[in-house]
Amino acid sequence: MGVADHFHANLRKHDSSDPPGAADERVRRESWFKQLLSRPEFASLAGTVMVFLVFAVSAGNSGMFNLDGVMNWSQVAAYLGLIAVGACLLMIAGEFDLSIGSMIGFAGMMVALPTMYFHWPIELAIVFAFVGSMLLGALNGYLVMRTRLPSFIVTLAFMFILRGLTLALSVMFADRTIISGVGDVAAKSALAHMLFQGVAFHGLFRWLGHIGLVKLLDSGEPLVPGVPKVIVWWLALAAVCAFTLAKTRFGNWIFAVGGDANAAKNVGVPVRRVKIRLFVLTAFCACLFAVLQVCDIGSAAADRGLQKEFEAIIAAVIGGTLLTGGYGSVVGACFGSLIFGVVQIGITYTNIDSDWFRVFLGLMLLFAVLFNHYVRSRVAASR
């Protein structure tokens, strides 16, 4: 700064027209409500509260909020939450993966076919499914980065490729589109059963039943035997990803490449590596969904995961993630998944026709997009 600049700065500083003690106009205190409004997960949190209030009034006495009812809609939310977390991070980075749903079906077949028709140990088949899915995710990301084509187009192609492969391979090896018996094999494997099948905390729930806090069946077993493993996986995955996004350098890179990839590259952010890793993460989440589903239901089917990619995107958007990238929240995506689960199961506890579920979901999506656009406009204007 030159002498003239110092002179003018001091002149402004001591200008008698400024009242004593006047605050710098560049430093403003925002109210707690405005700070809350600027959080990406605010809309989904408000939506969750609204949904709970609606069903508390319309289905409060139906058993929806009994322990078994809570486990029902929590399990639906958890399955969606697994893939919504991956989709959310990828969308914050400015990309989409429309092959998530097809990856679920394909990964399920990668577990079932080797187990039932090639007599692999189910642990080996599960590892094979995870490795194969993550390699396909890396291929997705590599093609997007290498060709610079929109990820929407590349992953749309993979959506059809994987769905077609799932159908063709199941018919080729099993002569049908559903492969059963995987659950029985998983039950005989201590590792597969411990990680992916049944419920967790069974001993705790049995104890709660004997002290009267959980209803017992005539056999003496608790009505709710424990927490489904998918809920445990969902909470663990969400916690790790939320911490990564909020507290690590890699999380900062995700926001940077989604906000402005060229600027991020210019300051040393490895844009390609970040995005490819996130494609691998979405594939991992889809495979985890498939493995849990196959072990729990006991079968794999060629049509599993149908339209789940859109549901994952909807949950992420309801949770405050922008379609344009650079803004979003893993916690918000979890709330979006919770809304999905509560509404889908909650409608069955009311007299409302279940056909209205999709209508409600579409309205929630539209509201979330409009609200997020409004919030981002306000944030941009305040800067």
- Mean pLDDT lowest for which of 60-64, 215-219, 333-337? 60-64
CB atoms < 10 A from the CB of 192, how many? 24
Residue 7: pLDDT band with limits 50, 70, 90: very low
* DSSP designation for 350: S
Please compute the mean of the pLDDT values over residues 172-185 and round it to a whole number.
92
> Which pLDDT score, from 0 to 100, does residue 12 have?
46
What pLDDT, in 10s, does the model give residues 38-56? 677 777 788 888 888 888 8
Residue from 333, 318, 331, 372 nearest 246 by CA:
331
Query: How far from each other are the two terminal CA atoms of the chain, in whole angstroms?
Result: 25
Q: Quick one: average pLDDT of 174-187?
A: 93
Flag the least confident range among 12-16, 34-38, 161-165, 202-206. Answer: 12-16
For residue 144, CA distances in Å to 94, 148, 279 come to 12, 5, 10
Compute the distance between CA of residue 286 and CA of residue 259 in angstroms, rounded to an integer.
Answer: 26
Q: Answer whether residue 170 shows pLDDT above 80.
A: yes
Confirm if 154 and 140 have CB atoms less than 8 A apart.
Answer: yes
pLDDT at residue 257 above 50? yes
CA atoms 208, 213, 216, 220: torsion sign: positive
Angstrom distance (rounded) from CA 254 to CA 329: 11
Supply the mean pLDDT for the chain: 87
CA distance 341 to 44: 13
Alpha carbons 95 and 150: distance in angstroms, whole number: 8
Q: From residue 58, how far is each of 24, 63, 70, 237 by CA, in Å?
A: 52, 11, 16, 33
Task: Judge whether 181 and 116 are in contact, CB under 8 Å.
Answer: yes
Give the pTM: 0.88
